[in-house]
Each structure stands twice: as C-alpha cells, then as structure tokens.
Amino acid sequence: MRVLVTGGAGFIGSHVVEALGARGHEPVVFDVREDAGADVRDRDAVARALAGVDAVCHQAAMVGLGNGFTDAAEYVSRNDLGTAVLLTGMAEAGVRRLVLAGSMVVYGEGRYLCEWHGVVRPGPRTVADLTAGRFEPVCPACGEALSPGLVGEDAPVDPRNVYATTKLAQEHLAAAWARSTDGTAVSLRYHNVYGPRMPRDTPYAGVASFFRSALARGEAPHVFEDGAQRRDFVHVRDVAAANVAALEASSPVGALTVYNTGSGEPHTVGAMARALAAAYGGPEPVVTGEYRLGDVRHITADSSRLRAELGWKAETGFEDGMREFARARLRDE
C-alpha cells in the first residue's frame, strides 16, 4: 500500500514510516517539520498529498496535558479541525482506510473496584486532597479505598482536559467519516509511549522524556505525587508495529474500531524513574510530592483485544526498553 503518514517526521510517526517500509509498503511523509506547507488544516496541501494514496496513518497532533484553556483554540485547530480537513480530503479522493493515533487520555481515570460497591468511577481529585498528599481516589459512594485495574475499550470515556477532549473528538470525526464513506477506521489508543527520538524537555513531552532529559543534564528526575501512580509504558517500535497491523487488517467497513495499545505490564511512575536512572547511571530520582491538577492517578490498559484480533503483541520488555532509552538520542523539538 501507498500510505500517507501525517506527522511522519515526528517521534512516533518516524517509527511508523520505518515499520511500513520494512513491511514493503510505500510510506509518504506529510509533516511540517519537513515541509512548512504540510499542514493538515490546509485543504489544498492535503488534497495534493492524498493523490495516489491507498490509506492514511494519522499521527499529526498537538500533544500534551492541556489542563488549562490558554491553548484550547490551538489544540482544537490542530487536532480536530486538522482531522476534519484530512477526512474531507480522503472522502473526496476516495481513500477509504484510516488508522488514527488515539490516546488512553479519553478514559480519564482508570478502572477502580470498591470492595462494597463494585466498579466505580471516582471524580476528579480536589486541590485540597492533592495538597494534603491524599493522592489515591476514593469510592464516591462510601469514601473507602479503591483497587485500580485494567481499562477495557468498552469503558466509559471521561476526558478531563483539553487535549483529551480533542482526542475523543478525533475519534467521533473518524467514526462519522467511516459511516458516510463506507470506510474503515481504527483508533489505536496509545498508552505512555517512550523510546528513541522522543522529544526532549518540551511542554508537550511525556514523563519519560522529562526524566531522561534531567539525567542527561546530570540532574535527578523529579517524580510528582508519591511516585505510585500506575501507567503502561509501551515502546515506540511496538506502537509502530501496531499501526502496521491495523493498516493491514480486515477491519469492519463503515465503523470505527478502537484498540488499547499498551504493553500489558503496568508499572509505577516511580519504578520507571528508578529503572531509567539505574540504566543511565544515576542520579537517583527525587519524589517531590508536587502535583498537576488534571493528572489522573492510575490509567493502565487491557490490550488483549488488539492481541486477539490483530495478532499484535508488545515485543520490547520494560527493562530492555529502559536500558535502550537511557542511551537513546532525544529530539530537540
């Protein structure tokens, strides 16, 4: 297939391009990093890029927490308007296969079990609780402690910041496009992606990048809260392989299919910081107790559907991945 990869010069997109090439496909990079005119909000540029294309792998997005509204219009413009323009171009060009870079942030908090009330959905954590160091959500019915678990694709969505809201809107747009064009659309809800070419210390980098950048400066990684927040750290090459698997799959026509895309091995943020520091050679992480309002406490994926339906599985283990990442080159963007 000839595959247009939006954001194909970026962190994840560049690995998708390599993975596509390795499978014998022809990737076409569409990215403002390589061409200032390659903006997914530009209908003419998108139309030119779609010429002769069989499928689209949509990675281009403004990423980050987006916990305030200062950048809300920019998030919506880049992520949602850009996706709408791209899908319009695909409809007009007759391109009927899409893989979307989704995100686990659409879930909000993860899955929690109360001993007395079963599966519950705690509300956003309060400033008072976070300031007092009460980081764990409690049962909204009885106030008792909760046990975190894995989130399945059928869990209710609850985006809790601007970025998360735009990622959910992208999925709704993709679903509407698939229905109206008899297209196939897959959203891969990425968990915490890390690996070579990750952007260094920018406002939009993931926590792994911040820790790695600190180590490169000879500084200790600063871990927020108590370090016990659970995440699923998945290697970028595994994410790229998931994109290729989704592009090659016989997905349902006229609908959006979503897959959690994680390693299946939850780790705490503190454990990740310690593993990365040990692989790099120190210094040891510092747990600060600080917090960011809008962060969720625990969010880890059940990626069994992706494994069962597409035959994909994460190949890079946590320890091996962290050892590689400790010495990997970071990007300056």
Does 247 score more than 70 pLDDT? Answer: yes
- Residue 28: pLDDT band with limits 50, 70, 90: very high
Q: Domain boundaries in the chain?
A: 1-109+150-325
Average per-residue pLDDT for the chain: 94
Segment 148-154 mean pLDDT: 95
Q: Which of 163, 194, 259, 291 is catalytic?
A: 163
Mean pLDDT of 261-270: 96
The per-residue pLDDT for range 1-13, each reduced to its tens digit, is 999 999 999 999 9
- Report the candidate in 283, 133, 279, 135 with the shortest Cα–Cα distance to residue 221: 283
Q: Residue 152 has which token pair?
A: 């399945």
User: What six digits make up the tokens of 113?
Assistant: 């079990």
Measured CA to CA, the distance from residue 206 to residue 229 in angstroms comes to 14
Q: Omega before 283 cis (within 30°)? A: yes
Residue 292's pLDDT is: 87
pLDDT, tens only, 61-113: 998 765 568 889 999 999 999 999 999 999 999 999 999 999 999 999 999 99
**Cβ of 22: how many Cβ atoms within 10 Å?**
11
CA torsion, ordered 66, 68, 70, 75, to nearest 10 deg: 30
Return the CATH number of 1-109+150-325, one of 3.40.50.720, 3.40.50.300, 3.90.1150.10, 2.70.98.50: 3.40.50.720
Verify whether residue 163 is a known catalytic residue: yes
How many whole angstroms separate alpha carbon 207 and alpha carbon 223? 9
For 229-257, what is the mean pLDDT?
A: 97
CB 250: neighbour CB atoms within 10 A?
8
* Beta-carbon-side half-sphere exposure of residue 236 (alpha carbons within 13 Å): 23
What pLDDT, on a 0 to 100 scale, did the predictor assign at position 66? 55
Count CA within 13 A, CB hemisphere, residue 14: 11
The pLDDT, as a whole number, for residue 202 is 66
Confidence band, pLDDT 50/70/90 cuts, at residue 294: confident
Per-residue model confidence (pLDDT) at position 65: 63
List the one residue out of 3, 5, 4, 7 whose CA is nearest residue 60.
Answer: 7
Which run of H or E residues covers position 20? helix 11-22
The H or E element containing residue 92 is helix 82-93
Q: What is the pTM of this model?
A: 0.96
The pairing of strands 111-114 and 118-120 is antiparallel
Let me know: does 52 contact 90? Beta carbons within 8 Å: no
Measure the CA–CA gap between 193 and 203, rounded to whole angstroms. Answer: 16
**Maximum alpha-carbon separation in the chain:** 58
pLDDT at 205: 66
